[in-house]
Amino acid sequence: MAAIEAEELTRIFQVGGEEVRALDGLTVSLERGSLAAVVGPSGSGKSTLMALLGGLDTPSSGSVSVYDQKLNGMAPVDLAAYRRSTVGFVFQDFFLLSHLTAIENVEVPLKLAQVSRSERRDRANELIELVGLGHRGEHRPQQLSGGERQRVAIARALANRPKLLLADEPTGNLDEKTGMAITEILLNLNKDRDITVLLVTHNPELAKQTEIQFHLGGGKLQKTICS
């Protein structure tokens, strides 16, 4: 069964009267439980694809379905529910809330999903443990290293038990060793929790650890490699 089905996906941005075709008729699918990487040069449409899959942006044309939910034409309230419950998003820049502790950051999506206070605390604690930060739960982002911040962001992305985890250059701001540790967490989530993981990376070593690699170029799928 498919986790992702995107057909003829096109996203055109208007920039100063010019059209930028960030995606230009991209068709791609991914089976449930897969671990895949999106690779390609800067500007090839990787982040645009991730935003469309995550319901953060809407295509100019073409269709996207994730776990049988067709995102095209979805009402805003349903799209918000989709973002909250079906997908988890991890970004290069972490995007943690600086005035909240690690645990409180993980609780944010749980609050939005109206999970009770005690369950929120339990689940956030469990996830902070899972990413190896049990001793840092009360720290705020500026008291954490880059790798630790990304661990918090991963825990937050998992809060509402997503089926699909989208990670856009999750190790892009980290040194090599820290990046490896973060990669390890993502690989284990795919293996142990049956979460479909799609990650964008510039790192060929990281891409090699995935089963499937989608190569983008000029907003199109150039080739797919299965290892």
Ligand X SMILES: Nc1ncnc2c1ncn2[C@@H]1O[C@H](COP(=O)(O)OP(=O)(O)O)[C@@H](O)[C@H]1O
CB of 111 to ligand X, least distance (A): 29
Of residues 3, 36, 48, 103, which one binds ligand X by CB under 6 A? 48
Of residues 46 and 120, the one with the C-beta less far from Mg ion: 46
Give residues in contact with Mg ion (CB under 5 A): 46-47
Residue 136, binding choice from Mg ion, ligand X, none, Cβ under 5 to 8 Å by partner class = none
Residue 6-45 contact track with ligand X, rule CB under 6 A, x = bound: -------x-x----x-x-----------------x-xxxx
Of residues 94 and 214, the one with the C-beta less far from ligand X: 214
Structure tokens at 24: 């230009």
Compute the distance between CA of residue 190 and CA of residue 184 in angstroms, rounded to an integer: 10
For position 77 contacting ligand X by CB under 6 A, the verdict is no
Residue numbers of the site for ligand X (CB under 6 A)? Answer: 13, 15, 20, 22, 40, 42-48
